[in-house]
Amino acid sequence: MSGDRAKNRVAAGEVLGAPPQWAKERRAWEGIVGDNEVVYEDHHVVVFHDPVDEEHESARVPGEIRLTLLSKREGVDSLMDLSVADEELSAAILHGIQQAALRLGLQKGGFEVRAHVYPPMQSRPELAFKIRAGKPPKQIAPS
């Protein structure tokens, strides 16, 4: 990143008063994916079936699909680290979500995409998006 761009970028530590304190250690994306089934992968992102739920996530229902999209780029710890200068990675994230959804037919029944940002919602310092399908939203009682 050039010096001029760095001056215009606000770091997490400047907003939070200190760098985020991650509950889990940083790992390379290959170590997080492990032997799990990869649904989509390119030079920028990998989307895989994720059998591990974060502590604050709800219990799974039968037939529910949970995927995780990870950025392969080091130094992008959170959604807040992306900027307009990261248009190639941003486009790859969108494309990865779409490709995983299309390959699994998730568009037929709908799906949701979530990004946990900063502790306590985000437990480890890797940019990740969660994709979930097959769990219907709670019914809202009529008012």
Percent of the chain with pLDDT over 70: 85
Can you name the CATH fold of 27-133? Answer: HIT family, subunit A (3.30.428)
Global confidence as pTM: 0.82
Distance from C-alpha of 102 to C-alpha of 40, rounded to nearest angstrom: 10
User: What is the residue extent of each domain of the chain?
Assistant: 27-133
pLDDT tens readout for residues 63-118: 999 999 999 998 899 999 898 999 999 999 999 999 999 999 999 999 999 998 98
Q: What are the C-alpha distances in Å from 139 to residues 96, 109, 114, 135, 142?
A: 30, 16, 20, 12, 9
The answer to whether 117 and 128 are in contact (CB under 8 A) is: no
Q: What are the C-alpha distances in Å from 103 to residues 7, 55, 66, 115?
A: 41, 28, 14, 21
